[in-house]
Amino acid sequence: MSTTAQTPQAPAPQKLRTRKPLTVGAVAKNAAAIVLAVIFVFPVYWMFSSSLKPQSEILSKDPVFFFTPTFENYGTATGVDLFWTYVTNSLIVTVGAVLLALVVALAASFAIARMKFKGRKGIVLIVMMAQMAPWEVMVIAMYMIARDNDMLNSIPLLTAIYFVMVLPFTIWTLRGFIAAVPVELEEAAQIDGCTRGQAFRKVIFPLLAPGLMSTSLFGFITAWNEFAMVLVLNKDKTNQTLTLWLTQFQTAFGDDWGATMAASTLFALPVLIVFLFLQRKAVGGMTAGAVKG
Amino acid sequence: MTVDSQGTATAGSQDAPGRAAGKSQTPPPPSGAKEALQPSRGRRSLPGGLLPYLLVTPALLSMAVLLLYPLISNLILSFQSVNRRELIRRETPWIGFDNYTELLGNSEFWTVVLRSVAFTAANVALIMAIGTGIGLLLNRLGKKMRLVLSLALAFAWAMPIVASVTVFQWLFDEQFGVANWLMRTLGFSGYEQHNWFETGFSTFVIITALVVWGSVPFVALNMYAGLTTVGTELYEAARMDGANGWRTFWSVVFPNLKPFFMITTFLEIIWVFKAFTQVYAMNQGGPDRATETLPVFAYIEGMSQQHYGVAAAISILTIVMLLVAMSFYFRLILKQEDEQ
């Protein structure tokens, strides 16, 4: 970072298409990359750093960049009434939705990828369209349905909706993974005396592990982040999830930004970790699997 | 939105940091969408019978109950007059197309439509331009810088929308926000206690910053993954022929990645047009309803004004507009699948 930052003659605007002297181009390129990296990372960095600031340093006209970190904001954030209820609700809803989706999608995608039957193409199309479903625009209808069936403030209904939200994507990706497992492997297992079910369990399923992992991680992220549905359906505090806790936090806490940023960090951390580490491994398998197939 | 935006192009995103670190063993697929569309090579006619239908039934059934049925009841509701009074009495009087005629004759509705279209156009243009630029830049960087930039992009990509909305509210806070400090430091006056959420336009600027910041990584990292599939010989040839950077882009890069550009553009149009969380959570459609886009307008008309029938009609009209963009998108995807 330091090597290029020192060079003063790096003009930011002409970054991309300089084809003049090599050195100026290289410097401009790297300078642009650093500026961009800072811009993209800054909000995330600012969230972390604000969450660790003592109250007095938050309430300062000129932002403080160096300070002694404190965890008091995290205490405030997690000390909110019902915090653990929100955590539990979020976990139930996400884990429930993802597990359901995995089971249902595994069956469907196996049929789509491995079997020939009438209407197969139609089902593929349905899955594709369902993946683009405009859930955000359907909240009013969903509210009316939930209300008419006395299912407002229901965790099971929310779980079921999230399950259907992540289902098409799960089917779509698993279909790719299953198709990538050579059918010969399955046939060999069957020749060796496995039944179709055994062949699936002992041969295909283990090979699908990375696929199942990355797919469920994406399902987790979607359900964890969902906002519109829970906003409309669950007005009762005891049945809300962390997304609502977070959006209402700032108003409820009279602009306690330190605590709000601690809350944001707590909410974002699982997703950031999942996305940056686990996902990378899983997708290594994803591309490898897809290409080799 | 998240499943799509964080899911479709998994390969691209993760591949970039991986490659930069020199860990990748396989060439990246041309684009996220393509990757998901791997032809099912292994399929062979195995004895079918009833089994495939049994396997598919749970999925179809759950989508029918929780997706198709709500869509249909949305349509039905849009032909009924359901307001506060009817809601309490549990009445659903039919009024034909009245909700639609009321909306289509209402200037407020058309303002919201225009606003949504302008908002979408501005965001998608920015996302595609900046995303492409960064993708090209990534392709030209050395390994270390590429890793740094890819990581920064991955952070922005991974941030949950709700969390980033809160962070942007803090960045643009009236009293202690960094944005005001930055403006003061850069020498602009009037940013002592500037309220960024005072006007609809200024609020839109912040929402746009948020949306663009969150969406560019998807385009940039996929763009980069796509670029790695365009052979370097092509660039070399173009350079030998004396083409400058701009020419090279339009005559070598763009034609090769045209499907990627088209598909991504339509995906972004769909995502931005139906974006609810970013717009609503930022300022609840305010100030004074000035940042209500169609999804937010439908929500407020329904849940706050308690005009459920009208809200349903807004939803249906929004879905119809989305369907236009989606039909282009599906056509592109299907065409691509046929070509493979």
Task: Report the length, in residues, of chain A.
Answer: 293
Helix, coil or strand: residue A149: coil
- What is the residue type of A130? A
Task: Choose the weakest-confidence range: A11-25, A135-149, B167-181, B238-252.
Answer: A11-25
Which pTM does this prediction carry? Answer: 0.84
User: What is the structure's pLDDT at B253?
Assistant: 82
> Considering chain B, what is the average pLDDT of its residues?
83
Helix, coil or strand: residue A165: helix
Cβ <8 Å between B29 and A291: yes
pLDDT digits (tens, 9 = 90+) for A183-235: 888 888 888 888 888 888 888 888 888 888 888 888 898 999 999 999 999 99
CA–CA separation, A121 and A107 (whole Å)? 16
Residue with the two structure tokens 């055994």: A198
Report residue B254 as tokens: 């763009």
- Please state the domain extents for chain A: 2-75, 76-292
| Helix residue ranges, H only, B228-288 | 232-240, 245-248, 254-256, 258-273, 277-283
* Chain A residue numbers touching B10 (CB-CB < 8 A): 214, 218, 279, 283, 286
Residue with the two structure tokens 């308690």: B306
User: What is the structure's pLDDT at A153?
Assistant: 94
> Considering chain A, what is the average pLDDT of its residues?
84
Cβ <8 Å between B48 and A115: yes
Most confident of A59-68, B14-23, B42-51, B213-222: B213-222
CA–CA separation, A225 and A2 (whole Å)? 37
Report residue B149 as tokens: 């930039």
Average pLDDT over every residue of A243-258: 84
Cβ <8 Å between B27 and A291: yes
Chain B: nearest CA to A127, how far in angstroms? Answer: 9
Sign of CA pseudo-dihedral A246, B120, A132, B9:
negative
Task: Choose the weakest-confidence range: A55-59, A70-74, B21-25, B142-146.
Answer: B21-25
- Tell me if ipTM is over 0.85: no
**Residue B11 pLDDT > 50, yes or no?**
no
pLDDT digits (tens, 9 = 90+) for A88-139: 999 999 999 999 999 999 999 999 998 888 889 899 989 989 999 999 999 9
Task: Go through the domains of chain B in sequence order and give each one's CATH number.
Answer: 13-21+108-339 (1.10.3720.10)
Fold of the domain built from segment(s) A76-292: MetI-like fold (1.10.3720)
* Chain A residue numbers touching B44 (CB-CB < 8 A): 183
**Residue B64 pLDDT > 50, yes or no?**
yes
pLDDT digits (tens, 9 = 90+) for A267-293: 999 898 888 765 555 444 433 433 332
Average pLDDT over every residue of B146-154: 91
**Residue B284 pLDDT > 70, yes or no?**
yes
> Best residue in B44, B162, B224 to probe A by mutation, most A CBs within 10 Å?
B162
CA–CA separation, B20 and B16 (whole Å)? 6
> Best residue in B5, B8, B13, B38 to probe A by mutation, most A CBs within 10 Å?
B38
Residue with the two structure tokens 């396997």: B55
